[in-house]
Amino acid sequence: MRSGGPEAKHIMALRTFVVAGARPNFMKVAPLWVALAADPRHFAPRLVHTGQHYDPLLSDVFLRDLELPRPHVALGVGSGTHAEQTAGIMVAFERVCAEERPDLVLVVGDVNSTMACTLVAAKLEIPVAHVEAGLRSFDRSMPEEINRVVTDALSTYLFTPSRDADENLRREGISGGRVHFVGNVMIDSLRRFLPRISALRAHATYGLPPRGYALLTLHRPTNVDRPDACQQILAALEVIARRVPVLFPLHPRTRKSLASLGLEARLRGMAGLIVTEPMGYLEFLSLQQGAAFVMTDSGGVQEETTVLGIPCLTLRENTERPVTISEGTNQLVKPARDAIIDKALEVLHEPPRAGRIPEFWDGRAAERTVRVLLGEAMAQERRRP
């Protein structure tokens, strides 16, 4: 990291690339951006959008809802196979790093953009800070798990959202000095915008009463790309939607997969199922807050429902966020017809199980992260000859 020369009394503002690429990144980037921008004496942040998610419904609306600036750098990589997308991001990001020479690259989460930009920065010997480090599903069939492991191995600073993440990193031999438990930055965004989220009452837009509907999200390949798994989930929905309306914002990737499997017409003809376009951040959180329960395969939704106190059924065999089960409102449900129906009817008719909010999910994780980064930069400055 740069200094202002031997006579400088403090470090110069660190050129900090803040990388976002896909919808789950923006909620994590937003509070970090606010915390970095609030300290222009020490940080000069630049928002880098890789373009991994390029649909306006998955990108532009989130920038607007989260009050993020227009990206300073837009790589415009777009879709492709994992290899094509990762390679495209690496080539484009390396060029930008060579031109602008950042002092620090800050990445979040576990998408392809996270790993690709980390690889580039590590090879250019630029320090990398990984926010949301240490999460593990222990399922290497998940592309995100590969991204997590690689990113953590190469990062200079690792910021964890929960204590189990610290333990995972220790087991992998990552030294304690690189690991900092700061809490969950995505919850910073939720807490910041909660008054607006509550005021929206988005359920009324769809003619639904509070606690009178279920909310569904699906996008993982194991659920939407495999015909057998998809059929099992749809068969469960046909039963559940006759008991309680189910609102389903349809991810573009899921729509494409259902169409290729010949299942989209079955979905849209289902009684009690309300299929919508993808939603912005605020509207979707408002619908979570008003739901009787949520069914999902998303990592972030497991965390948001825990803080909102809404029962969550995660339609997966595993989760990289076990704290949402041990402390929160989340339950793992095998993505099979009978298992989903049984658990959905159970949460409909039984009192919700009590959960609690995990440690440091208090809306100040980004502040703690930036404070650590500043301390590390100053410590480096003191060590300079």
- For residue 53, pLDDT beyond 90: no
Residues 91 and 199 in one domain: no
- Spell out the residues 6+ positions from residue 28 whose beta carbon is closer than 8 angstroms to its own: 108, 109, 131, 132, 185, 186, 189
Residues 368 and 243 in one domain: no
Q: Domain range spanning residue 173?
A: 14-184+361-383
Residues 284 and 178 in one domain: no
Q: How far apart are CA 55 and CA 69, in angstroms?
A: 17
Whether 146 is in a domain gets the answer yes
Whether 356 is in a domain gets the answer no
CB-count exposure of residue 80 (10 Å: 0-12, 13-18, 19+): middle
Q: In what order do the strands lie in the sheet with 214-216?
A: 273-276, 246-249, 214-216, 293-296, 312-314, 330-332
Residue that the structure tokens 């609690």 belong to? 356
Residues 50 and 164 in one domain: yes
Q: How far apart are CA 189 and CA 193, in angstroms?
A: 6
Contact status, residue 229 vs residue 222, Cβ threshold 8 Å: yes
Active site residue 219: yes
Share of the chain above pLDDT 70, in %: 96
- For residue 127, pLDDT beyond 60: yes
At residue 5 the predicted structure's pLDDT band, cuts being 50, 70 and 90, is very low
Residues 115 and 217 in one domain: no
Whether 2 is in a domain gets the answer no
Whether 7 is in a domain gets the answer no
Report the candidate in 67, 66, 54, 56 with the shortest Cα–Cα distance to residue 27. Answer: 66
Whether 126 is in a domain gets the answer yes
Contact status, residue 154 vs residue 119, Cβ threshold 8 Å: yes
At residue 22 the predicted structure's pLDDT band, cuts being 50, 70 and 90, is confident
- Spell out the residues 6+ positions from residue 349 whose beta carbon is closer than 8 angstroms to its own: none
pLDDT digits (tens, 9 = 90+) for 257-292: 999 999 999 998 999 999 999 999 999 999 999 999
- For residue 310, pLDDT beyond 80: yes
Whether 9 is in a domain gets the answer no
Residues 76 and 133 in one domain: yes
Whether 71 is in a domain gets the answer yes
Helix (H, G, I), strand (E, B) or coil at 357: coil
pLDDT digits (tens, 9 = 90+) for 141-165: 999 999 999 999 999 999 999 999 9
Residues 371 and 344 in one domain: no
pLDDT digits (tens, 9 = 90+) for 36-52: 999 999 999 999 999 87
The total number of structural domains in the chain stands at 2
Residues 211 and 96 in one domain: no
- For residue 57, pLDDT beyond 80: no
Residue that the structure tokens 């929206």 belong to? 200
pLDDT digits (tens, 9 = 90+) for 63-87: 899 999 999 999 988 878 889 999 9
Residues 134 and 225 in one domain: no
Residues 261 and 344 in one domain: yes
Measured CA to CA in angstroms, residue 202 lies from 246, 256, 282 at distances of 14, 26, 9
Among candidate residues 49, 130, 219, 349, the one labeled active-site is 219
Residues 209 and 305 in one domain: yes
Report the candidate in 337, 246, 345, 326 with the shortest Cα–Cα distance to residue 294. Answer: 246
Share of the chain above pLDDT 90, in %: 85
Q: How far apart are CA 253 and CA 260, in angstroms?
A: 11
- For residue 205, pLDDT beyond 60: yes
- Spell out the residues 6+ positions from residue 264 whose beta carbon is closer than 8 angstroms to its own: 255, 258
Residues 211 and 331 in one domain: yes
Can you give the pLDDT at residue 4? 42
The CATH number of residue 178's host domain is 3.40.50.2000
Can you give the pLDDT at residue 383? 78
- For residue 123, pLDDT beyond 80: yes
- For residue 178, pLDDT beyond 70: yes
At residue 104 the predicted structure's pLDDT band, cuts being 50, 70 and 90, is very high
Can you give the pLDDT at residue 296? 98
> Mean pLDDT throughout 281-306?
97
pTM for the whole thing? 0.94
Contact status, residue 56 vs residue 179, Cβ threshold 8 Å: no
